Structure 1
Amino acid sequence: HLHFDHVGGCTAYKDGKLIPVFPKATYLIQERDWQEATNTNERTRTAYIEDDFLPLHEAKQLELLNGDTEVIPQLWVRRTGGHTAGHQMVYFESDGEKIGCLGDILMIPQQVAIPYITSYDLYPTETFDSKRYWLKKAQEENWLLIFGHGTAEKSGYLSETSGKPIFVPKEVV
């Protein structure tokens, strides 16, 4: 999604003009997220900094998706919604191993308890439902979960204690 903490740093000034930092990159986002980011309201305005993503659009580096998309064989982005209308997660599968980054519907391992969501979630009921669905799937299929937000534990698996999900850290190199 296009929140400043995810696309901040994708542009920089050169000769007084904002340009993409990675000129060969393609950024995959959901159409719904683009609509939300470019039509903000009082609640959402502070989460988006147009200088972070408009130059990417102008350089034709944004690819707008409509739902789940297989990017390359075995690598998917899947729309989760909840955090933003077009929030998506990344999922990879190879040789029986499954890896998922649930993005901002599960920012840190401490949020594995189902009711824990953040005040940044624009659609909390959708976050709740999506989180429940993806955590169950990740646990049943033994996904390695990767986290992108501030924590010492960047990856691990889900287990269960007394019917509740728990996080089991696993360091990956």
Structure 2
Amino acid sequence: MSLKYSVGDLTIHRIIEQEAPFIPALDFIPGLTPEVLTENRAWMREAKALDDQDVLILCFQSYVVKTPHHTILIDSCIGNDKPRPQRPAWNMKTDDTYARALNAAGVSVGDIDFVMCTHLHVDHVGWNTRLENGRWVPTFPKARYVFAKQEYDHWFAENAKAEIPPFADSVLPVVEARRHELVGNDHQIGDHVRIVPTPGHTPGHIAVAMGRGKDDAVFSGDLMHSPLQTLYPELSIKFDVDPAKAATTRRSFLERYCDTDTLCCTAHFPSPSVGKIKRKGNAFVCAAV
């Protein structure tokens, strides 16, 4: 299984925290019918995207990208010591899996220049902070944390109505430490990093494109969760805040990168998680490289 990719002048490392059965396919994707699941069961099981009980297998991971100028972490996964009672596998976790994966990639927390969150859901912000003497502090001491302003404003307003634990323990402490930047959709970092607005899963969800002069790689975040959604872009998941917008965004993203050399680095597809988007009839596949 490949954990390292080189494209253009980028080096990309996958940092896997968990990869496991998550939620039954028919529950996770409300528009999925038993008939369509049956048609696709064989290849999905072969791709390790579906288990024997028809539960979707998802990977939970970050990407570390080295450009000629910076070391950038895309999404910070689940985290340790976080109260997540709804998800037993994430609740008050204390393992060293993530730290070992960073170490295996030859990266320390002090090496990260920027942390970029595609959105502010629980499994994309967890390692933004760590517990130190009973307080949440930024995990990556030198890093600037880049949040899309539209996304941040949405969750700030929601959190004001009733506390949202991942926002309270994994985003606000970064803001209080003044390590954050709130950016618009035209934001760039140097000549290698650009934001691609991809709303639908959340109001301010972004993808991140990287490469000098062209998109050598794109990090799609939660634009799609399962390879089934490349074949059926109209299928949105139950956690999408705007399922219709998510479906439109997904198809236009797949059209944009289809039959190009851009590496598509997905957040949750089962390993190897990285591929190139190819057209298949009126739909697409993410072909492993």
**TM-score, normalized by length of structure 1?**
0.86
Give 1:96 deviation, angstroms: 5.7
Q: Distance in 2 between matches of 1:122 and 1:58?
A: 27
Q: 1:161 aligns with which of 267, 272, 280?
A: 280
C-alpha deviations, 1:106-134, integer Å up to 9, x for none?
A: 23333212112211111222211211111
Give 1:35 deviation, angstroms: 1.3
Q: Secondary structure at the match of 1:83?
A: coil
Give 1:3 deviation, angstroms: 1.1
Is the CA contact (8 Å cut-off) linking 1:33 and 1:87 kept in structure 2? yes
Give 1:140 deviation, angstroms: 4.4
Is the CA contact (8 Å cut-off) linking 2:146 and 2:182 kept in structure 1? yes
In percent, how many aligned pairs have the same letter? Answer: 25
Q: Distance in 2 between matches of 1:74 and 1:137?
A: 18
Give 1:26 deviation, angstroms: 1.1
Distance 1:149 1:161, change over 3 A: closer
Q: 1:118 aligns with which of 234, 237, 243?
A: 237
Give 1:163 deviation, angstroms: 2.8
Q: Secondary structure at the match of 2:158?
A: coil
Q: Secondary structure at the match of 1:108?
A: coil
Give 1:8 deviation, angstroms: 0.7
Q: Secondary structure at the match of 1:55?
A: helix
Could you tell me which amino acid in structure 1 is paired with residue 126 of structure 2? Answer: G
Distance 1:45 1:116, change over 3 A: farther
Unpaired stretches in structure 2, ≥5 consecutive residues: 1-118
Is the CA contact (8 Å cut-off) linking 1:109 and 1:153 kept in structure 2? no
Could you tell me which amino acid in structure 2 is paired with residue 28 of structure 1? Answer: V
Q: Distance in 2 between matches of 1:49 and 1:35?
A: 11
Distance 1:47 1:124, change over 3 A: farther
Q: Distance in 1 between matches of 2:120 and 2:212?
A: 28
1:24 aligns with 2:142: yes
Distance 1:68 1:19, change over 3 A: same
Q: 1:11 aligns with which of 129, 138, 148?
A: 129
Q: 1:134 aligns with which of 230, 237, 253?
A: 253
**TM-score, normalized by length of structure 2?**
0.53
Could you tell me which amino acid in structure 2 is paired with residue 84 of structure 1? Answer: T
1:145 aligns with 2:269: no
Distance 1:97 1:54, change over 3 A: closer
Is the CA contact (8 Å cut-off) linking 2:192 and 2:212 kept in structure 1? yes
Question: Which position in structure 2 is the counterpart of 1:64?
Answer: 182
Question: Which position in structure 2 is the counterpart of 1:85?
Answer: 203
Distance 1:89 1:20, change over 3 A: same
C-alpha deviations, 1:76-117, integer Å up to 9, x for none?
A: 122211111111101012476621111101233332121122
Give 1:65 deviation, angstroms: 0.9
Alignment length, in residue pairs?
168
Larger radius of gyration: 2
Deviates more, 1:44-53 or 1:134-143: 44-53
Give 1:16 deviation, angstroms: 2.0
Name the Cα RMSD after superposition.
2.2
Q: 1:104 aligns with which of 198, 222, 233?
A: 222
Give 1:53 deviation, angstroms: 0.8
Is the CA contact (8 Å cut-off) linking 2:209 and 2:215 kept in structure 1? no
Could you tell me which amino acid in structure 2 is paired with residue 116 of structure 1? Answer: L
